[in-house]
């Protein structure tokens, strides 16, 4: 049986167009985009073309896009820059208990620097309460950081509602959209988002590159120092080949393609659930199936240790996961499931995340289901 990759929430294979574009750029545009000679100017033209494509995907201005090394740097940049530059106005931050570690660990770092962080709880479907959020807002709240869609259970969070509530508050609004950017239509200005983080390797682009959207409405000092690249906002010679690869990946995400992917991934999830129902397998969906990222399906397969199940599937050349790839290789339980159910719930050690993406087929999903049933 051929290999079946169902861990696209961890990382995605590069699209052939991305590989072709990166190869072209590495062969033809080796100049430093900051150099003023011809080689530098040609590289700079490519850089700005990529910035325009990415800005258009969000309907924002090109200079509101800052290229970074990926989602973690973008999250750190948004959160730490805001906290350090606005601490004279207040030292209170709000986030959720189910954020990616790139946000949660940054918040923990800031707590050590004297900031106060409110971690909004979630219910057993993984949803936050808007009344909890409203109650948490204070006059000294300077930043709200809430992810667009959760990377483990796939829940879409109430970003528009939060953005609307924050219009009457001075707090900046940051959203980690690393998992959502590939499938959701995101318009930061319409949603009231001031800062938004993404990563190319989640959308069939290269690893080691991403961007931070920073609204013109807010002002932040640079987090790093040492150069004047990215309009003095993020020093360091730009990764032109990676950025152009990200551009090519974004170009594959036209509105029609996003909709087609949503529909296909939704059908894959239904195919799996129908199979489980027909085989009378005891399971529960983790998260809110009614408002979710279409490519993520998190299942509690009752009385089945997930570490053993992953090993059995891996031996059959099938890749799924137990949660965030950033905690892979550790014995740490899912902080998302713990926030939903408590630390002692069996779901913590009996759940797997299945995530769909490029080149996954209905035939592969059927093969996966057959192997899964035989492995339980």
- The tens digit of pLDDT for each residue in 280-309 reads 999 999 999 999 999 999 999 999 999 999
pLDDT tens digits for range 24-78: 999 999 999 999 999 999 999 999 999 999 999 999 999 999 999 999 999 999 9
In angstroms, rounded to a whole number, what is the distance separating the alpha carbons of residues 118 and 137?
A: 9
**Closest to 359 in 3D by CA, of 9, 13, 20, 11:** 13
- 129-168: pLDDT as tens digits: 999 999 999 999 999 999 999 999 999 999 999 999 999 8
Name residue, tokens 């027909």: 278
pLDDT greater than 80 at residue 6: yes
**Amino acid 56: pLDDT:** 97
The one catalytic residue in 49, 326, 358, 371 is: 326
Residues of the chain with CATH 3.40.640.10: 16-251
Residues 100 and 157: their CA atoms lie apart, in Å, by 13
Give the SS3 label for residue 12: coil
Average pLDDT, the chain: 95
All CATH 3.90.1150.10 domain ranges in the chain, comma separated: 4-13+255-375
Domain 16-251 has CATH 3.40.640.10: yes
Residue-level pLDDT at 152: 97
Give the per-residue pLDDT at 222. Answer: 83
369 is catalytic: no
Tens digit of pLDDT for each residue in 227-273?
778 877 888 889 999 999 999 999 999 888 889 999 999 999 999 99
pLDDT digits (tens, 9 = 90+) for 180-221: 999 999 999 999 999 999 999 999 999 999 999 999 999 888
Give the fold, CATH level 3, of 4-13+255-375: 3.90.1150
Sign of the four-CA dihedral 292, 295, 296, 301: positive
For residue 327, pLDDT beyond 90: no
**Confidence at residue 343, expressed as pLDDT on a 0 to 100 scale:** 95
Name the residue among 180, 215, 219, 196 with its Cα closest to residue 145: 196
Task: Please tell me the predicted confidence (pLDDT) of residue 237.
Answer: 86
- Position 116 scores a pLDDT of 98
């Amino acid at each position: 049986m051929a290999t079946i990759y169902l861990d696209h929430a961890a990382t995605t294979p590069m699209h052939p167009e991305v590989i072709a574009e990166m190869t072209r750029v590495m062969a033809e545009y080796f100049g430093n985009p900051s150099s003023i000679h011809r080689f530098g100017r040609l590289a700079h033209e490519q850089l700005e073309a990529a910035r325009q494509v990415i800005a258009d995907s969000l309907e924002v201005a090109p200079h509101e896009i800052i290229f970074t090394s990926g989602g973690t740097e973008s999250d750190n940049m948004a959160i730490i820059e805001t906290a350090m530059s606005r601490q004279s106005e207040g030292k209170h931050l709000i986030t959720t208990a189910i954020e990616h570690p790139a946000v949660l660990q940054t918040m923990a770092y800031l707590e050590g620097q004297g900031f106060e962080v409110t971690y909004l709880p979630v219910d057993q479907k993984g949803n936050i309460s808007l009344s909890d959020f409203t109650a948490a807002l204070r006059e000294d709240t300077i930043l709200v950081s809430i992810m667009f869609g959760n990377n483990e259970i796939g829940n879409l969070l109430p970003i528009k509602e939060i953005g609307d509530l924050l219009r009457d508050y001075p707090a900046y609004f940051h959203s980690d959209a690393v998992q959502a950017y590939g499938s959701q239509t995101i318009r930061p200005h319409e949603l009231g988002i001031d800062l938004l983080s993404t990563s190319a390797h989640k959308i069939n682009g290269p690893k080691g590159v991403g961007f931070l959207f920073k609204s013109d409405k807010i002002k932040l000092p640079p987090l790093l120092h040492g150069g004047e690249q990215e309009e003095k906002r993020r020093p360091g010679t730009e990764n032109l080949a990676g950025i152009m690869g990200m551009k090519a990946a974004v170009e594959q995400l036209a509105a029609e393609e996003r909709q087609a992917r949503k529909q296909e991934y939704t059908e894959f999830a239904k195919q799996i659930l129908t199979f489980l129902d027909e085989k009378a397998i005891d399971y529960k969906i983790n998260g809110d199936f009614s408002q979710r990222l279409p490519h993520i399906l998190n299942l509690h397969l009752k009385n089945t240790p997930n570490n053993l199940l992953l090993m059995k599937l891996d031996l059959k050349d099938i890749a799924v996961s137990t949660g965030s790839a950033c905690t892979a290789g550790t014995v740490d339980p899912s902080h998302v499931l713990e926030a939903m159910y408590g630390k002692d719930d069996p779901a913590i050690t009996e759940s797997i995340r299945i995530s769909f993406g490029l080149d996954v087929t209905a035939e592969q999903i059927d093969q996966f289901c057959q192997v899964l049933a035989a492995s339980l």
